Structure 1
Amino acid sequence: MAKLLYSVTMSLDGFISGPGGDMSWLTEYLEPNPTIDELVGDIGALLVGNRTFRGDDPHADMPGEGEPFGGGWSGPQFVLTRNPPPSPVPGITFVSDLDSGVAAAKAAAGDSYVNILGASVARQCLDAGVLDEVLVCVAPVLLGDGTRLFDHPGGSTVALERVSLTHTPRITNIWLRVA
Protein backbone atom coordinates (compact mmCIF):
# COMPACT_ATOMS: atom_id res chain seq x y z
CA MET A 1 0.00 0.00 0.00
CA ALA A 2 1.22 3.48 -0.86
CA LYS A 3 2.80 5.69 1.79
CA LEU A 4 2.35 9.45 1.89
CA LEU A 5 5.66 11.33 1.91
CA TYR A 6 6.11 15.07 2.20
CA SER A 7 9.40 15.89 0.47
CA VAL A 8 10.69 19.42 0.33
CA THR A 9 13.79 21.60 0.32
CA MET A 10 13.93 24.06 3.20
CA SER A 11 16.14 26.97 4.19
CA LEU A 12 17.99 26.63 7.48
CA ASP A 13 15.50 29.03 9.08
CA GLY A 14 12.54 26.82 8.13
CA PHE A 15 11.14 28.31 4.92
CA ILE A 16 10.27 26.30 1.79
CA SER A 17 9.57 29.38 -0.32
CA GLY A 18 10.49 33.00 0.00
CA PRO A 19 8.07 35.93 0.32
CA GLY A 20 5.15 35.70 -2.08
CA GLY A 21 5.93 32.07 -2.88
CA ASP A 22 9.26 32.93 -4.53
CA MET A 23 11.16 29.74 -5.39
CA SER A 24 14.10 31.37 -7.21
CA TRP A 25 16.28 30.95 -4.09
CA LEU A 26 16.24 27.19 -4.65
CA THR A 27 17.77 27.29 -8.14
CA GLU A 28 21.36 27.51 -6.95
CA TYR A 29 20.85 24.43 -4.74
CA LEU A 30 19.58 22.19 -7.55
CA GLU A 31 22.47 19.77 -7.74
CA PRO A 32 22.77 16.01 -8.08
CA ASN A 33 21.31 14.41 -4.96
CA PRO A 34 21.38 10.59 -4.81
CA THR A 35 18.67 10.54 -2.13
CA ILE A 36 16.29 12.48 -4.36
CA ASP A 37 17.31 10.51 -7.46
CA GLU A 38 16.44 7.27 -5.66
CA LEU A 39 13.19 8.71 -4.32
CA VAL A 40 12.02 9.84 -7.76
CA GLY A 41 12.11 6.21 -8.91
CA ASP A 42 9.89 5.24 -5.96
CA ILE A 43 7.15 7.84 -6.52
CA GLY A 44 3.91 6.51 -7.97
CA ALA A 45 1.79 9.68 -7.78
CA LEU A 46 1.87 13.29 -6.63
CA LEU A 47 -0.61 15.03 -4.34
CA VAL A 48 -0.10 18.74 -4.96
CA GLY A 49 -1.48 21.85 -3.32
CA ASN A 50 -3.13 24.55 -5.40
CA ARG A 51 -0.55 27.23 -4.50
CA THR A 52 2.27 24.87 -5.45
CA PHE A 53 0.56 23.90 -8.72
CA ARG A 54 0.01 27.54 -9.71
CA GLY A 55 3.20 28.86 -8.11
CA ASP A 56 6.74 29.73 -8.95
CA ASP A 57 9.08 27.10 -10.45
CA PRO A 58 12.71 26.80 -9.28
CA HIS A 59 13.45 25.30 -12.73
CA ALA A 60 12.29 28.47 -14.53
CA ASP A 61 14.19 29.10 -17.76
CA MET A 62 15.81 25.65 -17.49
CA PRO A 63 15.11 22.35 -19.22
CA GLY A 64 12.24 20.67 -17.38
CA GLU A 65 10.53 23.93 -16.44
CA GLY A 66 6.97 23.27 -15.30
CA GLU A 67 7.59 19.56 -14.81
CA PRO A 68 7.84 17.70 -11.48
CA PHE A 69 11.42 17.36 -10.29
CA GLY A 70 12.59 19.43 -13.27
CA GLY A 71 11.33 16.81 -15.71
CA GLY A 72 12.87 13.93 -13.76
CA TRP A 73 9.48 12.39 -12.92
CA SER A 74 6.26 11.78 -14.78
CA GLY A 75 3.05 10.13 -13.69
CA PRO A 76 -0.37 10.82 -12.22
CA GLN A 77 -0.78 14.12 -10.41
CA PHE A 78 -3.69 15.08 -8.18
CA VAL A 79 -4.11 18.77 -7.38
CA LEU A 80 -6.17 19.69 -4.34
CA THR A 81 -8.21 22.79 -5.19
CA ARG A 82 -11.69 24.22 -4.99
CA ASN A 83 -11.03 26.25 -8.14
CA PRO A 84 -9.81 24.04 -10.99
CA PRO A 85 -8.85 25.77 -14.23
CA PRO A 86 -11.66 26.08 -16.78
CA SER A 87 -9.81 23.89 -19.28
CA PRO A 88 -8.41 20.41 -18.57
CA VAL A 89 -4.67 20.17 -17.95
CA PRO A 90 -3.07 17.03 -19.46
CA GLY A 91 -1.87 14.59 -16.81
CA ILE A 92 -3.53 16.46 -13.94
CA THR A 93 -6.61 15.41 -11.99
CA PHE A 94 -8.19 18.12 -9.87
CA VAL A 95 -9.78 17.01 -6.59
CA SER A 96 -11.83 19.16 -4.27
CA ASP A 97 -11.23 17.50 -0.91
CA LEU A 98 -8.37 15.86 0.92
CA ASP A 99 -10.01 12.46 1.44
CA SER A 100 -10.77 11.90 -2.25
CA GLY A 101 -7.35 13.27 -3.24
CA VAL A 102 -5.51 10.93 -0.88
CA ALA A 103 -7.62 7.95 -1.96
CA ALA A 104 -7.10 8.63 -5.67
CA ALA A 105 -3.37 9.28 -5.31
CA LYS A 106 -2.86 6.13 -3.20
CA ALA A 107 -4.79 4.02 -5.72
CA ALA A 108 -2.68 5.43 -8.57
CA ALA A 109 0.60 4.97 -6.66
CA GLY A 110 0.06 1.29 -5.86
CA ASP A 111 2.95 0.19 -3.65
CA SER A 112 5.00 3.31 -4.38
CA TYR A 113 5.07 6.68 -2.62
CA VAL A 114 2.49 9.41 -2.94
CA ASN A 115 4.75 12.44 -2.85
CA ILE A 116 3.14 15.53 -1.34
CA LEU A 117 4.08 18.92 -2.73
CA GLY A 118 2.83 21.91 -0.76
CA ALA A 119 2.97 22.92 2.89
CA SER A 120 -0.80 23.27 3.32
CA VAL A 121 -1.54 19.81 1.90
CA ALA A 122 1.20 18.29 4.07
CA ARG A 123 -0.29 19.95 7.17
CA GLN A 124 -3.77 18.73 6.24
CA CYS A 125 -2.44 15.19 5.78
CA LEU A 126 -0.68 15.38 9.14
CA ASP A 127 -3.85 16.67 10.83
CA ALA A 128 -5.86 13.84 9.22
CA GLY A 129 -3.35 11.25 10.46
CA VAL A 130 -2.43 10.02 6.96
CA LEU A 131 1.08 11.44 6.58
CA ASP A 132 3.64 8.64 6.93
CA GLU A 133 7.05 10.23 6.27
CA VAL A 134 8.84 13.53 5.76
CA LEU A 135 12.00 14.13 3.73
CA VAL A 136 13.54 17.54 4.36
CA CYS A 137 16.49 18.65 2.25
CA VAL A 138 18.11 21.50 4.21
CA ALA A 139 19.85 24.18 2.16
CA PRO A 140 22.52 26.39 3.74
CA VAL A 141 20.67 29.68 3.37
CA LEU A 142 18.55 31.95 5.58
CA LEU A 143 15.47 33.39 3.84
CA GLY A 144 13.98 35.31 6.77
CA ASP A 145 10.39 35.12 5.48
CA GLY A 146 8.10 33.06 3.28
CA THR A 147 6.18 29.81 3.59
CA ARG A 148 7.20 27.72 6.59
CA LEU A 149 7.87 23.99 6.34
CA PHE A 150 5.16 23.40 8.91
CA ASP A 151 2.98 26.13 10.33
CA HIS A 152 0.20 25.29 12.75
CA PRO A 153 -0.19 28.06 15.33
CA GLY A 154 -1.48 26.66 18.59
CA GLY A 155 -0.91 23.15 17.28
CA SER A 156 0.42 20.22 19.22
CA THR A 157 3.85 18.63 19.09
CA VAL A 158 4.38 16.02 16.38
CA ALA A 159 6.92 13.32 17.18
CA LEU A 160 9.15 12.16 14.32
CA GLU A 161 11.70 9.33 14.13
CA ARG A 162 14.81 9.67 11.98
CA VAL A 163 15.00 7.09 9.21
CA SER A 164 18.19 8.35 7.55
CA LEU A 165 20.57 11.27 7.28
CA THR A 166 22.52 11.83 4.05
CA HIS A 167 24.50 14.68 2.51
CA THR A 168 25.52 16.19 -0.79
CA PRO A 169 28.21 18.87 -0.91
CA ARG A 170 25.59 21.57 -0.15
CA ILE A 171 22.40 19.83 1.04
CA THR A 172 21.61 17.78 4.15
CA ASN A 173 18.78 15.26 3.67
CA ILE A 174 16.81 14.26 6.78
CA TRP A 175 14.31 11.43 6.24
CA LEU A 176 11.79 11.06 9.07
CA ARG A 177 8.86 8.82 9.93
CA VAL A 178 5.80 10.23 11.68
CA ALA A 179 5.78 8.47 15.07
Structure 2
Amino acid sequence: MRKLTFGMNLSLDGYVAAPGGDLSWSTPSDELFQWWSDRVAATGLALYGRRLWQNLNAHWPTADQQPGATPAHIEFAGRWRDMPKVVFSSTITEVDGNARLVTGDAVAEIARLKDEDGGPMDISGPTLAAAAMQAGLIDEYALMTHPVMVGSGKPFFTALDKWVNLNLVETRTFPGGVHLTRYETGR
Protein backbone atom coordinates (compact mmCIF):
# COMPACT_ATOMS: atom_id res chain seq x y z
CA MET A 1 0.00 0.00 0.00
CA ARG A 2 1.29 3.44 -0.91
CA LYS A 3 1.66 6.26 1.57
CA LEU A 4 -0.23 9.49 0.73
CA THR A 5 1.16 12.84 1.93
CA PHE A 6 -0.48 16.25 1.71
CA GLY A 7 2.16 18.95 1.83
CA MET A 8 2.14 22.59 0.82
CA ASN A 9 3.39 25.99 1.86
CA LEU A 10 0.95 27.74 4.16
CA SER A 11 0.64 30.99 6.04
CA LEU A 12 0.69 31.04 9.83
CA ASP A 13 -3.08 31.54 9.77
CA GLY A 14 -3.55 28.41 7.65
CA TYR A 15 -3.90 29.51 4.02
CA VAL A 16 -2.09 28.09 0.97
CA ALA A 17 -3.00 31.14 -1.12
CA ALA A 18 -4.03 34.65 -0.21
CA PRO A 19 -7.09 36.24 -1.86
CA GLY A 20 -6.84 36.23 -5.64
CA GLY A 21 -4.48 33.25 -5.55
CA ASP A 22 -1.56 35.42 -4.40
CA LEU A 23 1.45 33.26 -3.51
CA SER A 24 4.06 36.02 -3.31
CA TRP A 25 4.38 35.51 0.45
CA SER A 26 5.71 31.96 -0.04
CA THR A 27 8.84 32.56 -2.11
CA PRO A 28 11.27 29.87 -0.89
CA SER A 29 14.85 30.27 0.23
CA ASP A 30 17.43 28.19 -1.65
CA GLU A 31 17.41 25.64 1.18
CA LEU A 32 13.63 25.34 1.16
CA PHE A 33 13.54 25.12 -2.64
CA GLN A 34 16.03 22.24 -2.43
CA TRP A 35 13.82 20.49 0.14
CA TRP A 36 10.85 20.68 -2.25
CA SER A 37 13.04 19.50 -5.16
CA ASP A 38 14.26 16.49 -3.17
CA ARG A 39 10.65 15.71 -2.25
CA VAL A 40 9.64 15.74 -5.93
CA ALA A 41 12.55 13.39 -6.71
CA ALA A 42 11.32 10.93 -4.05
CA THR A 43 7.65 11.03 -5.09
CA GLY A 44 6.40 7.95 -6.91
CA LEU A 45 3.17 9.63 -8.05
CA ALA A 46 1.87 13.17 -7.66
CA LEU A 47 -1.85 13.88 -7.45
CA TYR A 48 -2.93 17.35 -8.53
CA GLY A 49 -6.11 19.33 -8.64
CA ARG A 50 -6.66 21.12 -11.95
CA ARG A 51 -5.77 24.67 -10.88
CA LEU A 52 -2.46 23.80 -9.24
CA TRP A 53 -1.48 21.48 -12.08
CA GLN A 54 -2.24 24.16 -14.67
CA ASN A 55 -0.15 26.71 -12.76
CA LEU A 56 2.82 24.36 -12.37
CA ASN A 57 2.51 22.98 -15.89
CA ALA A 58 2.59 26.50 -17.33
CA HIS A 59 6.11 26.97 -15.94
CA TRP A 60 8.08 23.84 -15.03
CA PRO A 61 8.13 21.83 -18.29
CA THR A 62 10.38 24.44 -19.89
CA ALA A 63 11.80 26.28 -16.85
CA ASP A 64 15.22 24.73 -17.41
CA GLN A 65 15.37 26.31 -20.88
CA GLN A 66 14.61 29.86 -19.73
CA PRO A 67 17.34 32.51 -19.71
CA GLY A 68 18.92 32.81 -16.29
CA ALA A 69 17.67 29.42 -15.05
CA THR A 70 19.67 28.51 -11.96
CA PRO A 71 21.11 25.02 -11.44
CA ALA A 72 18.48 24.41 -8.75
CA HIS A 73 15.66 25.40 -11.11
CA ILE A 74 17.11 23.23 -13.88
CA GLU A 75 17.26 20.27 -11.49
CA PHE A 76 13.70 20.84 -10.23
CA ALA A 77 12.31 21.22 -13.76
CA GLY A 78 13.75 17.87 -14.80
CA ARG A 79 12.51 16.16 -11.66
CA TRP A 80 9.04 17.65 -12.05
CA ARG A 81 8.81 16.63 -15.71
CA ASP A 82 9.91 13.07 -14.89
CA MET A 83 7.57 12.62 -11.92
CA PRO A 84 4.38 10.72 -12.87
CA LYS A 85 1.30 12.82 -12.27
CA VAL A 86 -2.45 12.29 -12.08
CA VAL A 87 -4.62 15.37 -12.61
CA PHE A 88 -8.18 15.37 -11.27
CA SER A 89 -10.65 17.61 -13.08
CA SER A 90 -14.17 17.70 -14.39
CA THR A 91 -13.55 20.78 -16.54
CA ILE A 92 -10.57 19.94 -18.78
CA THR A 93 -10.39 17.20 -21.39
CA GLU A 94 -6.68 16.52 -21.69
CA VAL A 95 -3.32 16.88 -19.97
CA ASP A 96 0.16 16.61 -21.38
CA GLY A 97 3.62 15.57 -20.34
CA ASN A 98 4.02 12.80 -17.81
CA ALA A 99 0.42 13.14 -16.59
CA ARG A 100 -2.90 11.41 -16.99
CA LEU A 101 -6.37 12.85 -16.43
CA VAL A 102 -9.06 11.50 -14.11
CA THR A 103 -12.51 13.01 -14.59
CA GLY A 104 -14.51 10.64 -12.39
CA ASP A 105 -14.73 10.00 -8.66
CA ALA A 106 -11.50 11.40 -7.18
CA VAL A 107 -11.86 9.67 -3.82
CA ALA A 108 -12.40 6.25 -5.40
CA GLU A 109 -9.40 6.73 -7.70
CA ILE A 110 -7.14 7.92 -4.88
CA ALA A 111 -8.16 4.90 -2.78
CA ARG A 112 -7.43 2.60 -5.74
CA LEU A 113 -4.02 4.21 -6.31
CA LYS A 114 -3.15 3.85 -2.60
CA ASP A 115 -3.85 0.12 -2.83
CA GLU A 116 -1.34 -0.30 -5.67
CA ASP A 117 2.33 -1.09 -5.25
CA GLY A 118 4.70 1.76 -5.88
CA GLY A 119 6.48 4.69 -4.35
CA PRO A 120 4.94 7.29 -2.08
CA MET A 121 2.25 9.60 -3.38
CA ASP A 122 1.93 13.33 -2.77
CA ILE A 123 -1.38 15.14 -3.11
CA SER A 124 -1.30 18.84 -3.92
CA GLY A 125 -4.09 21.31 -4.28
CA PRO A 126 -6.27 22.09 -1.29
CA THR A 127 -9.59 21.25 -2.95
CA LEU A 128 -8.45 17.78 -4.02
CA ALA A 129 -6.73 17.21 -0.67
CA ALA A 130 -9.93 18.21 1.17
CA ALA A 131 -11.78 15.32 -0.47
CA ALA A 132 -8.99 12.91 0.49
CA MET A 133 -8.96 14.31 4.05
CA GLN A 134 -12.71 13.83 4.40
CA ALA A 135 -12.33 10.21 3.24
CA GLY A 136 -9.48 9.53 5.69
CA LEU A 137 -7.01 8.73 2.90
CA ILE A 138 -4.12 10.99 3.93
CA ASP A 139 -1.33 9.28 5.88
CA GLU A 140 0.95 12.26 6.44
CA TYR A 141 0.75 16.05 6.52
CA ALA A 142 3.80 18.17 5.70
CA LEU A 143 3.13 21.77 6.69
CA MET A 144 5.68 24.33 5.52
CA THR A 145 4.53 27.30 7.62
CA HIS A 146 5.68 30.76 6.58
CA PRO A 147 5.79 33.58 9.15
CA VAL A 148 3.04 35.64 7.57
CA MET A 149 -0.70 35.98 8.13
CA VAL A 150 -2.73 36.68 5.00
CA GLY A 151 -6.16 37.00 6.63
CA SER A 152 -8.16 34.89 4.18
CA GLY A 153 -7.82 32.91 0.99
CA LYS A 154 -7.62 29.18 0.25
CA PRO A 155 -7.28 27.18 3.49
CA PHE A 156 -4.88 24.25 3.91
CA PHE A 157 -7.35 22.28 6.04
CA THR A 158 -10.97 21.51 5.34
CA ALA A 159 -13.74 21.08 7.90
CA LEU A 160 -13.75 17.48 9.11
CA ASP A 161 -16.56 15.32 10.45
CA LYS A 162 -14.34 13.69 13.07
CA TRP A 163 -11.04 14.20 14.85
CA VAL A 164 -7.82 13.08 13.23
CA ASN A 165 -5.10 12.22 15.74
CA LEU A 166 -1.61 13.01 14.49
CA ASN A 167 1.89 12.01 15.56
CA LEU A 168 4.70 14.53 15.10
CA VAL A 169 7.53 12.92 13.11
CA GLU A 170 9.74 15.87 12.12
CA THR A 171 10.33 19.56 12.69
CA ARG A 172 12.85 21.76 10.92
CA THR A 173 13.42 25.47 10.55
CA PHE A 174 14.45 27.02 7.24
CA PRO A 175 15.87 30.49 6.52
CA GLY A 176 13.37 33.32 6.93
CA GLY A 177 11.63 31.59 9.82
CA VAL A 178 9.82 29.03 7.67
CA HIS A 179 9.02 26.00 9.78
CA LEU A 180 8.38 22.43 8.62
CA THR A 181 6.19 20.20 10.75
CA ARG A 182 5.43 16.68 9.53
CA TYR A 183 2.73 14.59 11.13
CA GLU A 184 1.58 11.04 10.48
CA THR A 185 -2.00 10.06 11.10
CA GLY A 186 -2.53 8.06 14.25
CA ARG A 187 -4.40 5.09 12.82
Q: Within 5 A, what are the aligned runs for 1:89-168?
A: 89-95=96-102, 96-98=104-106, 99-104=108-113, 107=116, 110=118, 112-152=119-159, 155-168=161-174
Distance 1:55 1:105, change over 3 A: farther
Q: Secondary structure at the match of 2:182?
A: strand
- The structural deviation recorded for 1:88 is 4.3
Aligned residue for 1:121, secondary structure, equals helix
Change (3 A) 1:88 1:159: closer
Structure 2: runs of 5+ lacking an equivalent? 67-72
Residue 23 of structure 1, CA deviation = 2.2
Aligned partners of 2:136 and 2:158: how far apart in 1? Answer: 16
Is residue 35–residue 173 contact of structure 1 (8 Å, CA) maintained in 2?
no
**Paired letter, 1:137:** M
Shift of 1:135: 0.3
Give aligned pairs, total: 171
Structure 1 residue 76 corresponds to structure 2 residue 75: no
Cα distance, 1:102 vs. partner? 4.5
Unmatched segments (≥5 aa) in structure 1: none
Please say if residues 3 and 106 of structure 1, whose CA atoms lie closer than 8 Å, have aligned partners that are also in contact.
no
Amino acid at match of 1:75: M
Is 1:8 the equivalent of 2:16? no
Mean CA deviation greater in 33-42 or 169-178: 33-42
TM-score w.r.t. length of structure 1: 0.80
For residues 97 and 45 of structure 1, the distance between their equivalents in structure 2, rounded to whole angstroms, comes to 18
- Distance in 1 separating the partners of 2:115 and 2:148: 34
Contact 2:133/2:158 (<8 A) preserved: no
Q: CA deviation at 1:18?
A: 1.1
Task: State the Cα distance separating 1:41 from its structure 2 match.
Answer: 3.0
Partner of 1:25: 25
- The TM-score, its normalising length taken from structure 2, stands at 0.77
1:142 positional shift: 1.3
Establish whether residue 41 from structure 1 lines up as the match of residue 47 from structure 2: no
Distance 1:56 1:113 in 2: 20
2-structure distance, mates of 1:63, 1:90: 14
Distance 1:142 1:70 in 2: 28
User: SS of the residue aligned with 2:7?
Assistant: strand
Aligned-residue sequence identity (percent) comes to: 25
* Contact 1:19 1:145 (8 Å CA) reproduced: yes
Return the alpha-carbon distance in structure 1 between the equivalents of residues 19 and 53 of structure 2: 17
Q: Give 1:155 shift.
A: 3.5
Q: Distance in 2 between matches of 1:30 and 1:102?
A: 34
